[in-house]
């Protein structure tokens, strides 16, 4: 037998924090003669209460062998942070204690405005004690002037406490101090009275259940155990930004080179990445025309900063592809060109780390005016057409998402011929793509395009064993780091494609999608659907999706009565069948006990009150 008490509110004096004694609940548990357990053992170890961080939990024994569990929450913000735990504890309470300090009106209003509405919703004939703790100091007569907006005294009056108790039908107590009289005889007497009432009620309910069980002539129905917990799949963290950032340093698939005749440094980059974050580069590389952009400031920035060099020879630049040399762009501003490597690193990192960019530029340019001039040019490059430059305050953008997720993202170039340098041939149709993105996001394609393979020198690449829809979903993930399969079948096809190209995070996304879809299906839909779960299991094993295959085995075992009636159940291997039989739910033992109980009920011509 146990009693559960929930204590809410802060009885401490905010003006006398150093001299105030221990809290009401702990003082009672440490001094009451009816409660056993020394003070050092009352408070549970912090490691044992990680599951319920909202409340401080105390455990003791009362009346000899009655387990007393007290959960104390003095701060509303903590209480409100975990609503699920707080609601369950209040709903299961046998007694609720509300406490506040009479010299701290904030604690009273916190109780009145926050805790009381929650208790009213959950209250179900549970006794409530309201404890006003402390001796009122500097108590003044309330101002009666209707124009006075000052607080009517710093103390909580007795009338306010009694009015609050009437709203809840609670017992109101005033505890002037936490000594033996007020704690042991006054507060303890009332609390122990309600504890005895709760024990009597629980004993009565226990007797009723025992009488009901006797009505089955000594035979109880079998208890259905809970199914085993399903395996938990952990999602893999995204490395989208780091992939694109690393592309700048690997110097693969370079298709544009920036230089200035007065600067020795030559900076290599990729058109697709630059155009994904800037309309200036879209205009420079003819992805969009001035008529499409319709913003004179962007057009002027492009003309003032860059010019394309179309001369046939360019000494000093590396050429990965002799047949298709990189486009050469002259940077007209010498200072801007000297800082261009830092600017590109900033853009490839997501174009939001402004403070780091400014620090890097300041190391190269000593003059603060030159630094501001270069920063302003970067802002103009990242400007959105038709809008006032929203990047004036760089620090406010420091914590925001990178520009990959804005309107000028890589998704704009998905399955479009603009800047495409490779074409995939699938099922008689073509899909244009960009080598730089494929190399950055997929190691298999990086090896394919940069190794001694036919694909490294070919523009048209055939793809086999994958449908066009599946391959487009695969490319969508590479370009945007997200995908949304249309259903379980497409998710499995995408998982197979991800395994083919060794993109592990996409495999995990597909696994989670399949699991979520199956978990959301009601039993009736599982029984009537045409989807072959055993076939999903076979494919998951074949394509090395160990997490999904293990989960599917548990899923079949948990829904044994449904899947054992399907013809594909016979396709399980001996090892898989053995696992399913071992972990099946409901178990064979339960079904046998249920059959025997039904047989007994029908043979005795009794009416089962449970079944």
For residue 78, is it within any domain?
Answer: yes
Taking 70 as the pLDDT cut, the residues of the chain under it are 13-22, 34-54, 123, 138-153, 211-219, 312-323, 386-408, 604-611
Please give the DSSP secondary-structure letter assigned to residue 521. S
For residue 338, is it within any domain?
Answer: yes
Is 37:29 a contact under the CB 8 Å cutoff?
yes
Position 261 scores a pLDDT of 87
Asked if 273 and 364 sit in the same domain, the reply is yes
CATH number at residue 373: 3.30.710
For residue 142, is it within any domain?
Answer: no
Residues with Cβ < 8 Å from 214, sequence gap 6 or more? none
Whole-angstrom Cα distance, residue 449 to residue 468? 21
Position 327 scores a pLDDT of 92
DSSP 91-128: HT-SEEEEEEETT-HHHHHHIIIIIHHHHHHH-SS--E
Name which of 224, 226, 233, 234 is nearest 558 in CA terms. Answer: 226
- What range does the domain containing 285 cover? 251-312+325-384
Position 140 scores a pLDDT of 53
C-beta atoms surrounding 311 within 10 Å = 6
Residue 423, sorted as left (phi over 0), alpha (psi -120 to 50) or beta, turns out to be beta
Asked if 417 and 377 sit in the same domain, the reply is no
Name which of 459, 409, 407 is nearest 433 in CA terms. Answer: 459
Whole-angstrom Cα distance, residue 536 to residue 548? 9
Asked if 164 and 300 sit in the same domain, the reply is no
For residue 373, is it within any domain?
Answer: yes
For residue 246, is it within any domain?
Answer: no
Asked if 338 and 427 sit in the same domain, the reply is no
Whole-angstrom Cα distance, residue 337 to residue 265? 8
Hey, is 64 helix, strand or coil? coil
Asked if 277 and 202 sit in the same domain, the reply is no
Please give the DSSP secondary-structure letter assigned to residue 43. B
Asked if 271 and 376 sit in the same domain, the reply is yes
Show the DSSP H helices in 382-462 as ranges: 435-441, 443-450
Asked if 289 and 434 sit in the same domain, the reply is no
Report residue 115: phi and psi, to 5°.
Answer: -70, -45
CA angle 392, 396, 399 (to 5 degrees): 135
pLDDT tens column, 569-610? 999 999 999 999 999 999 888 988 888 888 888 876 555 555
Domain count, the chain: 4
For residue 230, is it within any domain?
Answer: no
Position 60 scores a pLDDT of 85
Query: For the chain, percent helix, then strand, then coil, each to nearest 5?
Result: 50, 15, 35
Whole-angstrom Cα distance, residue 553 to residue 577? 9
Do you find a cis peptide bond into 38, omega within 30 degrees of 0? no
Last residue of a domain, one of 353, 384, 415: 384
Asked if 305 and 204 sit in the same domain, the reply is no
Hey, is 56 helix, strand or coil? strand
Whole-angstrom Cα distance, residue 273 to residue 287? 13
Position 14 scores a pLDDT of 52
Whole-angstrom Cα distance, residue 104 to residue 102? 6
pLDDT tens column, 472-524? 999 999 999 988 898 999 999 999 999 999 999 999 999 999 999 999 999 88
CATH number at residue 455: 3.30.710.10
Asked if 446 and 347 sit in the same domain, the reply is no
For residue 177, is it within any domain?
Answer: yes
Asked if 307 and 433 sit in the same domain, the reply is no
Torsion of CA 7, 9, 13, 18, to 10 degrees: 60
Alpha carbons within 13 angstroms on the beta-carbon side of residue 328 total 16
For residue 199, is it within any domain?
Answer: yes
Position 331 scores a pLDDT of 93
Asked if 74 and 179 sit in the same domain, the reply is yes
Asked if 295 and 341 sit in the same domain, the reply is yes
Whole-angstrom Cα distance, residue 208 to residue 213? 9
């Amino acid at each position: 037998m146990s009693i559960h008490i929930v204590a809410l509110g802060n009885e401490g004096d905010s003006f006398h924090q150093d001299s105030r004694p221990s809290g009401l609940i702990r003082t009672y548990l440490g001094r009451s003669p009816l409660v056993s357990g020394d003070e050092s053992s009352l408070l549970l170890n912090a490691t044992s209460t990680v599951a319920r961080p909202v409340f401080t939990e105390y455990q003791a024994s009362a009346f000899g062998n009655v387990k007393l569990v007290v959960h104390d929450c003095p701060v509303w913000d903590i209480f409100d942070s975990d609503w699920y735990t707080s609601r369950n504890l209040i709903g299961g309470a046998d007694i609720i204690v509300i406490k506040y300090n009479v010299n701290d009106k904030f604690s009273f209003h916190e109780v009145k405005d926050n805790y009381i509405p929650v208790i009213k919703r959950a209250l179900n004939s549970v006794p409530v004690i309201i404890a006003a703790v402390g001796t009122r100091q500097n108590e003044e007569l309330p101002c009666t002037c209707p124009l006075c907006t000052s607080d009517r005294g710093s103390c909580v009056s007795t009338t306010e406490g009694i009015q609050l108790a009437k709203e809840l039908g609670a017992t109101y107590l005033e505890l002037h101090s936490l000594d033996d009289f007020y704690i042991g005889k006054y507060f303890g007497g009332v609390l122990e009275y309600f504890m005895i009432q709760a024990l009597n009620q629980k004993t009565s309910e226990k007797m009723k259940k025992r009488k009901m069980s006797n009505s089955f002539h000594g035979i109880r129905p079998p208890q259905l155990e809970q199914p085993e917990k399903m395996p938990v799949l952990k999602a893999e963290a995204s490395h989208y930004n780091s992939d694109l950032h690393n592309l700048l340093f690997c110097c693969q698939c370079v298709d544009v080179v920036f230089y200035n005749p007065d600067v020795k440094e030559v900076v290599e980059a990729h058109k697709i990445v630059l155009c994904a974050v800037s309309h200036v580069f879209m205009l420079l590389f003819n992805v969009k025309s001035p008529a499409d952009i319709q913003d004179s400031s962007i057009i002027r920035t492009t003309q003032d900063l860059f010019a394309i060099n179309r001369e046939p020879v360019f000494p000093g630049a590396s050429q990965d592809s002799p047949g298709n040399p990189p486009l050469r762009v002259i940077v007209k501003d010498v200072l801007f060109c000297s800082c261009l490597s830092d600017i590109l690193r900033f853009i490839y990192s997501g174009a939001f780390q402004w403070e780091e960019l400014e620090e890097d530029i300041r190391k190269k340019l000593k003059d603060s005016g030159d630094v501001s001039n270069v920063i302003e040019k970067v802002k103009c490059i990242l400007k959105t057409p038709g809008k006032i430059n929203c990047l004036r305050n760089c620090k406010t953008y420091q914590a925001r998402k990178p520009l990959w997720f804005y309107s000028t993202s890589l998704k704009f170039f998905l399955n479009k011929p603009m800047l495409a340098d490779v074409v995939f041939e699938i099922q008689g149709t073509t899909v244009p793509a960009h080598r730089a993105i494929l190399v950055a996001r997929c190691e298999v394609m990086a090896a394919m395009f940069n190794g001694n393979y036919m694909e490294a020198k070919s523009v048209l690449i055939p793809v086999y064993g994958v449908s066009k829809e599946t391959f487009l979903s695969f490319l969508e993930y590479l370009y945007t780091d997200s995908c949304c399969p249309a259903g379980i079948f497409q998710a499995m096809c995408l998982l197979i494609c991800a395994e083919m190209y060794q993109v592990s995070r996409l495999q995990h996304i597909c696994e989670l999608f399949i699991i979520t879809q199956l978990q959301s299906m009601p039993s009736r839909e599982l029984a009537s659907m045409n989807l072959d779960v055993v076939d999903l299991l076979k494919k998951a094993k074949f394509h090395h999706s160990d997490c999904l295959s293990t989960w599917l085995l548990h899923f079949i075992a948990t829904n044994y009565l449904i899947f054992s009636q399907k013809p594909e159940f016979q396709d399980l291997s001996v090892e898989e069948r053995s696992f399913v039989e071992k972990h099946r739910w409901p178990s064979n033992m339960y079904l046998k006990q249920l059959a025997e109980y039904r047989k007994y009920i029908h043979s005795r011509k009794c009416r089962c009150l449970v079944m």
